[in-house]
Structure 1
Amino acid sequence: MEKLVSSWFSNKTLPQSYIFPPEARPGNHVIPRCNTIPVVDLSKALAHDRIVIVQQILKASQEFGFFQVVNHGVPENLVTDTMNVFKEFFELPAEDKAGIYSEDLKRPCRLYTSSSNYDHENVHLWRDNLRHPCHPLEDCIKIWPQKPTRYREIVATYSIEAKKLGLRILELLSEGLGLGSGFFGDKLSESLLLSVNHYPPCPDPSLTLGVSRHCDPNLLTILHQGDVYGLQVFKDGEWIGVEPLHNAFVVNIGHQLQIISNNKLKSAEHRAVTNSRVARTTVAFFINPSDDCVIEPDKSLIDTDESPAYKPFQFKEFLLNYSSLMGNPEKCLEPFELHA
């Protein structure tokens, strides 16, 4: 528990173990907050504009690997309640969080700090993380935090809505790619993992990161970043900031979608920076294939003049490799690539 940044950060200078090497630091220069990252109005997909929305999502997934969705159908009061519950969780007394804190990588519901493997990393991340599965809900909910008292009720409702939203976006992507309805159902989207990042105010945001540069290993990520800026995406050789929009969700393409699409969709590199003024809390849902699901480029998406870019593998193989490389975006796809 004493390792949690939120336990000791107040009025301290930045410890040496949190200072990134010069080439990885965000620095003091201002990162532009990009207004060109696509914002998709999902309500239009219910009407005659569906084809237009499908093409918007497809284009964003090809060019950015990132987009934001508004008018998504998740009730605003539920989003607000959920964000408040997570903030309340991180503000709980240490004794109320002690039962959830764990350094056991195999524990399904746990609170920890920095990356999953604190004692074996060269530099620490300026964040605490709460992570647990959300499917099947009736089994998972039994291991969730019991405090705040409304945690299980609100997070359960929110997880159902987040999964529905993710499946809806996957269905629109399936249409755009020319795959059949329900293509991303069943084993390809069986698992749902919640990850809550909490970034306390940082003494020197120019020297450290909340989350280092990476691509997500999963199928699709649904993120609510609250109203505090911190998310950055790497595009065309530079970092650009993702502006928080009121009641919007950030959607990003994971490695598995890039592989299934035979590189037609892009899994974008991204990171989280800190700030010195206020705490920032973000809530992400990772939609994952089942561990034994076989992932490979879909044959219908391989053009006649090209070959599959990746060999078939089980998702659990990919996760093991990803973890061993600490999410290194340059190397985690290499073992699964086929070279002509």
Structure 2
Amino acid sequence: MQVVNHGVSAEAMRDMEAVSEEFFRLPAADKAPFYSEDTGKPNRLFSSTTYEIGGESYWRDCLRLACGSPVGDTKNDWPDKPQKLREVVEKFVEPTRGVGMELLRLLCEGMGLRPDYFEGDLTGGDVIINVNHYPPCPDPGLTLGLPPHCDRNLITLLLQGAVQGLQVSYKGNWINVEPVSNAFVVNFGHQLEIATNGLLKSIEHRAMTNAAVARTSVATFILPAADSLIGPAEELVGEGNAPRYRSVTFDEFMRVYKTVGARRENVEKAFRL
């Protein structure tokens, strides 16, 4: 298989980190027009996270941006402050999506799927960027930045910044993920687990708070189109390897996901055969 280099430059990563931190340093009056609690809005600023089944709140502000591929006119719906935000995000998101697509092609090669299996509708949704900001927390023992969860999408590329706070679940323990400059943390999401019939597992992770310093991270989510049907790939099921998950549209998956919550055991219970 021919491998094409879709790398993200260190400059693009540093610029994205810098403009993200600059956005959250803006005066409240500059950010207020973009604030919304309407979860249906593709571009918005909001605080905390509330799951319908529990109502818990967490120590986080988030700027969420929907990005077309290519970005095109979708950037006109992003904040116009800081001045360079739109330019920097566009230069960051397009090559970052390219890295995600290249990783998916390499995974296909390793599993015996055709290289373009995840192209088209399975990655046809908007690319979503979450710029997560965790202000210093007076008592980190009382709350999390984000609760334990698995991502809803296919694959996530996380630029986690210089401040440690990400933890992943491993054999019943929470393991710190140390920051690495100019590098992504790659998370597999629920859609990838379903499509590979459980061969690749979505990773449960959480974000910790910090009493001394703020932490800002940038998560880039590659998602299916809303009406795309996701189920175990035919090449990965057969005699002695029955389908482990039912096929669902991504829209239906999200309705259930928002109801049962993002914990691995809840999602598996909802979609396992």
Q: Match of 2:234?
A: 299
1:148 shift after superposition: 0.3
Question: C-alpha distance in 2, partners of 1:148/1:159?
Answer: 17
Q: Where do 1:140-159 residues align within 5 Å?
A: 140-159=74-93
Q: Where do 1:31-42 residues align within 5 Å?
A: none
1:122 shift after superposition: 3.5
Q: Match of 2:186?
A: 251
Given the alignment of the two structures, is residue 231 of structure 1 paired with residue 154 of structure 2, yes or no? no
Question: C-alpha distance in 2, partners of 1:294/1:131?
Answer: 25
Task: Give yes or no for contact 2:6–2:102 (8 Å, CA) kept in 1.
Answer: no
Q: Match of 1:135?
A: 68
Question: C-alpha distance in 2, partners of 1:292/1:221?
Answer: 20
Q: Which runs of 4+ in 1 moved over 6 A?
A: none
Given the alignment of the two structures, is residue 96 of structure 1 paired with residue 30 of structure 2, yes or no? yes
Q: Match of 1:199?
A: 134
Question: C-alpha distance in 1, partners of 2:39/2:198?
Answer: 31
Task: Give yes or no for contact 1:103–1:117 (8 Å, CA) kept in 2.
Answer: no
1:313 to 239, 242, 248: 248
Task: Give yes or no for contact 2:230–2:250 (8 Å, CA) kept in 1.
Answer: yes
Q: Match of 2:109?
A: 175
TM-score (norm 2): 0.94
Q: Match of 2:58?
A: 125
2:123 to 165, 189, 195: 189
Structure 2 residue runs of 5 or longer lacking an equivalent are none
Structure 1 residue runs of 5 or longer lacking an equivalent are 1-44, 48-70
Q: Match of 1:73?
A: 7
Q: Where do 1:56-71 residues align within 5 Å?
A: none
1:78 shift after superposition: 1.1
Q: Match of 2:157?
A: 222
Q: Match of 1:260?
A: 195
SS at match of 2:142: coil
Question: C-alpha distance in 1, partners of 2:173/2:251?
Answer: 32
Q: Percent identity?
A: 46
1:117 shift after superposition: 6.2
Task: Give yes or no for contact 2:49–2:56 (8 Å, CA) kept in 1.
Answer: no
TM-score (norm 1): 0.76
How many residues align? The count is 270
Task: Give yes or no for contact 1:322–1:328 (8 Å, CA) kept in 2.
Answer: no
Question: C-alpha distance in 2, partners of 1:104/1:195?
Answer: 16
Q: Match of 1:82?
A: 16
Aligned letter for 1:74?
A: V
Question: C-alpha distance in 2, partners of 1:224/1:284?
Answer: 6
Question: C-alpha distance in 2, partners of 1:275/1:180?
Answer: 44
RMSD, aligned α-carbons: 1.9
